Amino acid sequence: MFGAKRKKLKPEEDRRRCNYVTIQGRCNQGKVTLSKDGVRFPSPYCRYHCCKKVDGAACQDMRINAKGFCQRHIQCQGQVNGTRCANAVRGYDPKEFKFCAQYHNCLALDCKNERFYSGESDLKFCADHRCTSPGCDRPKHTGPFCASHTCEAPNCLAFAVGGGGPGEPTRYCDRHRVCQHDQCERFTHARENGGLSNFCGAHYCAWDGCEQAREDAGEGEHCKAHSCIEVACVKGRTSAEGFFCKNHECDTKECRFRRWRGEYCPEHQCGKPGCAEEGTTDHYCSKHGTCSMVGCDRFRFADGSNPSTPPTLTHDIHWQQSSGANRLEPVKVDAEQSIPNLDSLLRAPSLMSRRYYIETSPSGRPQFVTLKRSRSHHHHHHHRPIEHDDCFVSREDWKALVERERCLRDANDVLTRDNYTLKCTLQATDGELRRYQAWVPQLQDRIQCLAADNAALKRSLDSAGGHSEKHYREIERLKQRLLKADREIGGLNDRLKDMLRRAGHGVQDRIDDLTGIIHDWKRKFEVVDEHNIRLRRDLDNRNSVISEQFERIDAYERIMRRHGLVPR
């Protein structure tokens, strides 16, 4: 009879009941048996509470979501710092996915593979879907590379350096790379070593390893940094440290100065006017060395093309092959230098240098006097005296002047190099500025696109949040209805007991009616419970969609941080 005590179940019947227990009591559904590959595995729970995972045996844990799996089987299989990831698998469905959507599952649609990590860098996609360019975290395009690293030439899937906007030279492969010169669409030049220049054959610099454009296309073959600095000269420099081409640079080894009326610079050219040979000794060539006679500044006597260099008198007047009255008698001064005897010069005044004369000192002794000091020179000739641009200084002053000139020359070289370096830096800076100015509109457009995507994601997130709140409210209403139904059932039971006490056994029909009503309410309760389960399943799906949207927002924020659009 219904009003009596609840019938005690047999041990066999109790073991067949579901192990799920709440504060309202134990689940009265029977345990289910799971099957896999024709083998049956008993579960400790009913069909509403059992975990559907079978791995050698039925899972002994209770399900926690509408997909039908427990906490242990929806846990991500990826590793974080050597430990298993605590996040749930993508979509809360371990049958479809093994990794979480936040850190380990590939972001490609419906892909189940694990993401690829390069060191500490998360490349977002698996090996099948990520760009094969090292360090790139973009998905593959139509080939093995992403859209940025795929050549933009039609039907070409080769690798491109990437970067820059559409149409930039870096968006093409080596075979289809376009010249970087303004308004030039020709392919880049292939060097002898197989490498490609950044410019075509009409605009590339022929200097080995240089990637700059020519200074004047069609005239020279080098850029400004490797062209001769001589006005109107377009030839290349002889070396990276030099400033002139082979036709304008001094032929002396390691000398970088300009030529002067010959093949040598003023520093290395022979000091004799009209001679273009190299000055190897005291600024004079081997043919035009000065006379070793003290006081004589004439050039040495040369027999044919071979210079004669006697130890003392080497001037053509002083060097006499035959003996005679005009032969001078040298007077030894030291081991390295000798001067003519004064008496011999008095007897043969025609042998004396034109810059020196003999005067009588106040003491009555003859002495050598330079042209400017001579007091009797102008009285010996009746024509106008010759004016000489001579300046006589002491040896110490002369050495000081030479040292000063050397220091000034070194300082001039340093300033020239600094000036050249500053010019090159200015050119490079101008190029970078122009390139950055070209990127500004593209970055602004990309910022606008990202802002629009962000706003759309926020709107979708807000709408998703509104639906989730609606489902929560509906669940609460169902819970209230369930509680109300439980109270009504309790009230009906109380009424039934009261009627049984009053009517006794004569009201069996009424009891049957009430029992039918109770069963109807139970069926309604089961329908409501199933509806609640469906709502929970929908809520879980909605939560997974929300988590994916949050992941997309995080991805966009990282992209914006990488481009400097959002502060870190």
- Structural domain count, the chain: 1
Q: What pLDDT is stored for residue 194 in this prediction? A: 64
pLDDT of residue 346: 45
Per-residue pLDDT, 2:
41
For residue 338, is pLDDT > 50? no
Task: State pLDDT tens for residues 107-141.
Answer: 888 888 888 887 777 888 888 888 888 888 888 88
Question: Is there a domain that residue 491 lies in?
Answer: yes
* Cβ(468)–Cβ(542) below 8 Å: yes
pLDDT value at residue 555: 85
| pLDDT mean over 37-44 | 88
Q: For position 325, what pLDDT does the model report?
A: 39
pLDDT at 350: 43
| Position 144 in a domain | no
- Which tokens go with 265? 């610079």
Is it the case that residue 552 has pLDDT exceeding 80? Answer: yes
Domain that holds residue 485: 472-518
pLDDT of residue 380: 42
Q: Is the per-residue pLDDT at 246 higher than 80? A: yes
Contacts of 45 (CB under 8 A, 6+ apart): 18, 19, 20, 27, 31, 32, 51, 62, 63
| Main-chain dihedrals φ then ψ at residue 65, nearest 5 degrees | -140, 175
Going by pLDDT thresholds of 50, 70 and 90, the confidence category of residue 218 is low
Answer whether residue 236 shows pLDDT above 50. Answer: yes
- Output 163 or 330, whichever has higher pLDDT: 163
Contact 105/111 with Cβ under 8 angstroms? yes
In this prediction, residue 504 has a pLDDT band, given cuts at 50, 70 and 90, of: low
**Amino acid in position 265:** C
pLDDT bucket at 550, cuts 50 / 70 / 90:
confident
pLDDT over 90, % of the chain: 1
Average pLDDT over residues 56-71: 85
Distances (CA, A) of 439 to 183, 432, 562: 17, 11, 16
Q: How confident is the model at residue 366, as a pLDDT?
A: 61
pLDDT confidence tier of residue 333, bands split at 50, 70 and 90: very low
Lowest mean pLDDT among 46-50, 220-224, 332-336, 454-458: 332-336
pLDDT higher than threshold 70 for residue 528: yes
| pLDDT, position 436 | 76
Residue 374 scores a pLDDT above 70: no
Q: What is the pLDDT of residue 6?
A: 53
Three-state SS sequence of 190-212: ECCCCCECCCCCCCECCCCCCCC
pLDDT score of 77: 86
In the block, tokens 């002491």 appear at 394
Question: Is 149 inside a domain boundary?
Answer: no
State yes or no: pLDDT of 249 exceeds 70. yes
For 397-452, how does the pLDDT look when each residue is reduced to its tens digit (9 = 90+)?
Answer: 888 888 888 899 888 888 988 888 788 778 778 777 877 777 787 788 778 888 88
Residue 480 lies in a domain: yes
Residue 490 lies in a domain: yes
3-state secondary structure of 363: coil
What integer best gives the mean pLDDT of the chain? Answer: 75
**What pTM did the predictor assign?**
0.34
Report the b/e string of 472-498 with b at 16+ CB within 10 A: eeeeeeeeeeeeeeeeeeeeeeeebee
Report the pLDDT averaged over residues 497-517.
69
> What is residue 25's DSSP assignment?
E
Query: What burial class does residue 444 get, using C-beta atoms within 10 Å of its C-beta: 0-12 exposed, 13-18 middle, 19+ buried?
Result: exposed
Q: Between these two residues, 525 and 345, which has the higher pLDDT value?
A: 525
User: Which residues fall within 8 angstroms of residue 276, CB to CB, at 6 or more apart?
Assistant: 261, 262, 263, 264, 269, 270
Q: Is the pLDDT reported for residue 348 higher than 60?
A: no
Percentage, residues of the chain above pLDDT 70: 74
Determine contact, residues 248/241, Cβ cutoff 8 Å: no
Is residue 220, in this structure, part of any structural domain at all? no
Let me know if residue 278 belongs to a domain.
Answer: no
For residue 448, the model assigns a pLDDT of 81
Is 486 a domain residue? yes
Query: What is the average pLDDT across 479-483?
Result: 85
323 has pLDDT over 50: no
Collapsed DSSP state (helix, strand, coil) of residue 17: strand
510 vs 493 pLDDT, higher one: 493
Identify which has the larger pLDDT, 299 or 131: 131
Predicted local confidence at residue 223, as pLDDT: 85
